Amino acid sequence: MAPRLAVLTAGGSAPAIIVNALAEAWPGLTVIAEPPEGKGEFLRRRARRLGWLQVAGQLPVMFGSRLSKRFLDRRFAEIEKAHGVSMTWPRDVPVIEVPSANDPAFIEALKRLEPDLLFVVGARMLSAATLEALPCPAINFHAGITPYYRGVNGGYWAMARGEPDLYGGTVHFVDTGVDTGNVIAQKVCVSDPRDTIFTHHHAITAQCAQLCVAAVPEALAGRLMDPQPQGASQQYFHPTLWGWIATGLRTGVW
């Protein structure tokens, strides 16, 4: 019998790549959708950790993709064609909407679905209480090579720091940390000079779509990548505008 699969996501074009690939492999897949985290909530949480000056510097980069939508749409189309993926959400996949992944409604939905596995892609962090209440294992796709590049913009930071051998994606079990769970599979991807901080995530996700598909039976069997990747672990955030410009001028990585 084919495994029952549920996906938790807040939506977006990059997660759509993974949802399409998983839905093709497991037609009975159901999506549980939460709304994106509110900008005010996100900024306050980030400022508590980094300070308001740092966050103010990050804002232009965080939202800069909106200023170059025409260019991004063209690049996204090239990525779709090159890797045989789709960033359009499938219409035939059932969707259950919940207020938040950490709302009791999410756990209630999972219990009704009775999935064998929860695949998390592009959703907020699950709280310790939510993780404890999960009725099935949960895995996550991260567009970065862990433990080296956790957090956001893993591909950009790998290139900016001169480590193209760490440009790629990871599928790992979900725990209470930020991309710290045991690794099921990883893939080093090929970077393209046309990509920037606004498209690296999509390029990596496209190249890792089938990695995600292959990771599902491995996760169900409890098999991990052996040996587990070892190395310096760091969580990354968005660069500040001035840091992004300085890095681009110095290294050509934008």
Encode pLDDT of 77-111 as tens digits: 999 999 999 999 999 999 999 999 999 999 999 99
Helix (H) or strand (E) holding 218: helix 209-220
Mean pLDDT of 182-209: 97
Q: What is the pTM of this model?
A: 0.93
As given in the structure block, the two tokens for residue 227 are 């040996």
Residue 47 has pLDDT above 80, yes or no: no
Q: Is the pLDDT of residue 213 over 70?
A: yes
Please tell me the number of Cα atoms within 13 Å of 235 on its side-chain side. Answer: 8
Q: What is the pLDDT of residue 41?
A: 74
Q: What is the pLDDT of residue 66?
A: 66
- pLDDT for the residue 68: 65
CA 151 to each of CA 145, 146, 201, 233, 236: distance values in angstroms, whole numbers, following the listed order? 10, 9, 12, 11, 5
Is-cis flag, bond preceding 104, omega within 30? Answer: no
Residue 149: what pLDDT?
98
Query: Please, which pLDDT band fits residue 62 given cuts at 50, 70 and 90?
Result: confident
pLDDT of residue 179: 97
Of 68-82, 160-174, 224-238, least confident by mean pLDDT is 68-82
Other C-beta atoms lying within 10 Å of the C-beta of residue 57:
18
Residues 150-174 have pLDDT tens digits of 999 999 999 999 999 999 999 999 9
**pLDDT greater at residue 158 or residue 56:** 158
Structure-derived torsion over alpha carbons of residues 193, 194, 199, 202, reported in degrees to the nearest 10:
-80
Residue bearing tokens 């956790």: 150
Residues 6+ apart with CB under 8 A from 208: 141, 143, 168, 169, 171, 187, 189
Task: Could you list the beta-strand ranges (E) of the chain.
Answer: 5-9, 30-33, 95-97, 117-120, 138-142, 150-151, 168-173, 183-188, 235-236
Q: How confident is the model at residue 58 (pLDDT cuts 50, 70, 90)?
A: confident
Q: Which two tokens stand for residue 15?
A: 């997660």
Instruction: Summarize the confidence of residues 52-81 as an average pLDDT.
Output: 82
Average per-residue pLDDT for the chain: 94
29 pLDDT band (50/70/90 cuts)?
Answer: very high
Pseudo-torsion of CA 164, 213, 178, 99, nearest 10°? 130
Q: Exposed, middle or buried: residue 121 (CB in 10 Å: 0-12, 13-18, 19+)?
A: buried
- The 10s digit of each residue's pLDDT in 101-138 is 999 999 999 999 999 999 999 999 999 999 999 999 99
Q: How confident is the model at residue 67 (pLDDT cuts 50, 70, 90)?
A: low
Residue numbers annotated as active site:
142
Contact in structure between 157 and 166 (CB atoms under 8 Å): no
pLDDT of residue 50: 79
